[in-house]
Structure 1
């Protein structure tokens, strides 16, 4: 079978499936996305099939059409992934997907692999919550163990009086998706490792990414992360490799980390291409999307070296004016083709430069136009200090 004959199957039809298809096409690889909902933005660039996650007849036809299957998001039912894995290669493996779907399993795995985490407790009842607050202390964050993302399914407890409101908000989900209480971390910075492992066990990382969030949603990423020494970089990448090997992972994943007093703490793992790695499309020799396609389909991995400096803005809710954005030198515009909606990721832009000072100037120019100076200021300051 020639490379042009290869077909990638993606469970989910959103923007990540869209960008996977865009990366696959130049390699002569076609993409088919399957999603229970119609109208996913991947349909603009890929063949799509609409079917429920338990429509076994449709899933059988999907399996027969593709050479390997991967995920657009981590909330695909594990039962669907396991069923498909009996018929076609599925990467990352369903076992890795299951671990990443449950915050309790995920943090337990982190600790087993030698990666420290904030304190946490499983919560099954209001009494459990009271005991956990007494044990962990406040502030703390009550989260659903499953299905929450981008700040959803979370409630921050700042004082004891917040306990009733937290249980009213999330307590009903204790018996369905489960709950976990995590200690709030007064971290100094947030970093992510974007890594890829192939079918043969080959492993590569892109440079660490520094991230800033607003209301639990990624707002700005800067790569390579400034003020990261070689020891911290090696430690972060070592944790990512240990996790990948423990899970026999294949494909791209993100490991989100807090830095507190120079120590790394594990926050979350995303078993897929990740928002904080979007800068790699223009900012690295091989993007996270292309390397994910390569890994899943058994092709050699590409280099993960950064081409220079890169900063990425997320567009949330609605797209800004395109014409004004494109006036910024070396700015790359990505419109996902989604309708505007509060809290929805609708696109991003990556700004590149060869030198930190040049990127600082371009980032400042873009931030002024976007009226996001306050969000961009920390990144601009770091670049000017580099």
Structure 2
């Protein structure tokens, strides 16, 4: 199971998560090979090799895998069928993808594993939409079952009369309806799991979102999150075990008056863990490399009293010079081209 330094790690997806993963892998002596359909993905700039190919091109994926010693992925919206052919080289496996790609499947998995989730219903027709509103009441949120991220494919229903227009706004796509949750804060558990079931979790960060996009992550998270941390970490470990997951695994939670509710899972490194690059002994990216290569997991302890990570979204990146001039700021720019509204262009971390 050990993939030694000097080997090649294949990364499916060439975005900023793949970029930071490749940088962490290089520090440990690995070469990275990016597979992505775009002409110049930002992860390819810092990797040894790049193959341009469609995520559903099985022949191209097979050639890519032949050139790699282990293969992983940086995001979950890749077709399961084609990459299933990668077999044992793929870590994590496809089960984690299958669950995370479909919100209804994910909800059933979470409930089956004993996790607490908000009340929900499937919506695939007008009749099911009306039944969901009747059962859950308002407010509720409609989320497309597939391909939603950073608030995309979501619409709130605050009055029953808004339900059909809300569904129209997400293209009448198969969806889940979730009851609105009264929560005090949002947080995430980022946990690494090895092939033999060892786990190590980072201190949970408190997360703040705007328009569905993560803006800030802070550790320590403060109350009430810290009081829920032990149980939330245990829940994340249970979910990772149920998937036989290998690598980093992220669970997003709502901190509610009666305890933590699981919002969703991400079978990968995560934006809310970017602070670990400067703020923890081992970053989430290095931890993922360690796990998929069969190496010992590193320490997840803080290196300072705490850390704050701010995303640079859209035009926020224009402040790069001022951020660089600040003595307490660690700046990461992703070199993704045009700074469109809502696009994550970089992040900055400050230690406490």
TM-score (norm 2): 0.95
Q: Where does residue 352 of structure 1 map in the other structure?
A: 351
Which stretches in structure 2 are left out of the alignment for 5+ residues?
Answer: none
Residue 155 of structure 1: CA displacement?
Answer: 0.7
Q: Where does residue 286 of structure 1 map in the other structure?
A: 282
Deviations along 1:293-332, whole A, 9 cap, x unmatched?
1111111111111112100000111313222112333210
Q: Secondary structure at the match of 1:69?
A: strand
Instruction: Tell me the distance in 2 between the aligned counterparts of 1:214 and 1:54.
Output: 33
Residue 59 of structure 1: CA displacement?
Answer: 1.2
Instruction: Tell me the distance in 1 between the aligned counterparts of 2:196 and 2:112.
Output: 24
Q: How does 1:168-247 map to 2 (within 5 A)?
A: 168-173=168-173, 178-228=174-224, 231-247=227-243
Q: Where does residue 8 of structure 2 map in the other structure?
A: 7
Check the 8 A contact 2:61/2:83 in 1, yes or no. no
Counterpart selection for 1:83 from 82, 85, 90: 85
Deviations along 1:4-35, whole A, 9 cap, x unmatched?
42111111000001000000001110101101
Q: Where does residue 68 of structure 1 map in the other structure?
A: 70
Instruction: Tell me the distance in 2 between the aligned counterparts of 1:41 and 1:330.
Output: 26
Deviations along 1:251-306, whole A, 9 cap, x unmatched?
00110000111411010101110000000000000000001011111111111111
Deviations along 1:176-199, whole A, 9 cap, x unmatched?
xx2111111121100100100011
Check the 8 A contact 2:4/2:293 in 1, yes or no. no
Q: 1:22 to 1:144 in 2, by over 3 A?
A: same
Instruction: Tell me the distance in 2 between the aligned counterparts of 1:191 and 1:2.
Output: 33
Which stretches in structure 1 are left out of the alignment for 5+ residues?
Answer: 354-386
- Once structures 1 and 2 are overlaid, which stretch shifts more, 73-82 or 209-218? 73-82
Instruction: Tell me the distance in 2 between the aligned counterparts of 1:36 and 1:171.
Output: 25
Counterpart selection for 1:261 from 238, 252, 257: 257
Instruction: Tell me the distance in 2 between the aligned counterparts of 1:185 and 1:172.
Output: 23
- Once structures 1 and 2 are overlaid, which stretch shifts more, 66-75 or 220-229? 220-229
Q: Where does residue 307 of structure 2 map in the other structure?
A: 310
Q: How does 1:97-136 map to 2 (within 5 A)?
A: 97-136=97-136
Deviations along 1:117-140, whole A, 9 cap, x unmatched?
111101110111011100000000
Q: Where does residue 159 of structure 1 map in the other structure?
A: 159
Q: Secondary structure at the match of 1:31?
A: strand
Q: 1:150 to 1:326 in 2, by over 3 A?
A: same
Instruction: Tell me the distance in 2 between the aligned counterparts of 1:223 and 1:161.
Output: 41
Instruction: Tell me the distance in 1 between the aligned counterparts of 2:71 and 2:3.
Output: 18
Instruction: Tell me the distance in 2 between the aligned counterparts of 1:137 and 1:2.
Output: 52
User: Does 1:335 find its partner at 2:333?
Assistant: yes
Instruction: Tell me the distance in 2 between the aligned counterparts of 1:96 and 1:211.
Output: 23
Residue 164 of structure 1: CA displacement?
Answer: 2.4
Q: Secondary structure at the match of 2:192?
A: strand
Q: Where does residue 144 of structure 2 map in the other structure?
A: 144
Instruction: Tell me the distance in 2 between the aligned counterparts of 1:156 and 1:230.
Output: 29
Q: Where does residue 372 of structure 1 map in the other structure?
A: none
Deviations along 1:229-258, whole A, 9 cap, x unmatched?
765211010000100111101000110000
Q: 1:314 to 1:230 in 2, by over 3 A?
A: closer
Deviations along 1:139-184, whole A, 9 cap, x unmatched?
00111011000000001001012112112223532xxxx2111111
Q: Where does residue 42 of structure 1 map in the other structure?
A: 43
Deviations along 1:196-237, whole A, 9 cap, x unmatched?
001121100000110000000000000121125765211010
Instruction: Tell me the distance in 1 between the aligned counterparts of 2:251 and 2:320.
Output: 32
- Once structures 1 and 2 are overlaid, which stretch shifts more, 12-21 or 317-326? 317-326
TM-score (norm 1): 0.87
Q: 1:328 to 1:262 in 2, by over 3 A?
A: farther
Instruction: Tell me the distance in 2 between the aligned counterparts of 1:2 and 1:64.
Output: 15
Instruction: Tell me the distance in 2 between the aligned counterparts of 1:321 and 1:230.
Output: 33
Check the 8 A contact 2:58/2:83 in 1, yes or no. no
